[in-house]
Amino acid sequence: MQGVHIMFEKLTNPEERGQVGIGTLIVFIAMVLVAAIAAGVLISTAGQLQAQGEATGEDSQSQVSDTVTVVHSVGETDSNNTVTQLNLTVMRSPGASAIQLEEATIHYTSSSTSDTLVSSASGGTAPHFSVSNPVLTESGEESVITIDLTQTEFSGTATLEEGEEAELNIIDQSGATTVFVAQPPDGITADDNYVPV
């Protein structure tokens, strides 16, 4: 056929055909290796992200559920009808893990002072609180948190007059926060050694 050009050269040498096949095979193997390495990196990264996500979820859950509940609260008064000591009976909230009260901190804020209290077992010069039971492990188990409001370590006057409010943020070892507001009632008399707060 005249006027028709052959666009592809016919390979007549078998060695040239073999070289083309080997080159294709090498490229294919390289692509498989790259894909395998990329898949390994993706799987590893996915595993790390999953582990981080689970850890973050557990921490978030602890911060929400590992709180204490104040079931009873009283204040001890002095001859000036001023509350000088708080006694808070606390227990684990439903679904909470074991709570280490000696590792907790309490932010105490009133109209005259704002301080962070630590457990008396930890020592130091900060205002402190004491507990009757350092670890709440069982459901229904209670502990009494006692705060002496006359401590000289307070930055201001921590004692409470009639009707005066103080906010306590009880933060346990997981970061979970329980907010409690103490407020002595009006009409404290000299006969009142203890008043509800």
pLDDT at 44: 83
Q: pLDDT over 70 for what percent of the chain?
A: 83
C-alpha 130/C-alpha 83 separation (Å) is 17
pLDDT band at 15 (very low <50, low <70, confident <90, very high): low
pLDDT band at 63 (very low <50, low <70, confident <90, very high): very low
For the chain, how many structural domains are there in total?
Answer: 2
User: 73 and 55, same structural domain?
Assistant: no
Of 48, 65, 82, which closes a domain?
65
User: 176 and 106, same structural domain?
Assistant: yes
The pTM assigned to this predicted structure is 0.69
**What does the pLDDT average to over 55-71?**
66
C-alpha 87/C-alpha 94 separation (Å) is 22
Question: Which residue is listed with tokens 């009142």?
Answer: 192
User: 58 and 79, same structural domain?
Assistant: no
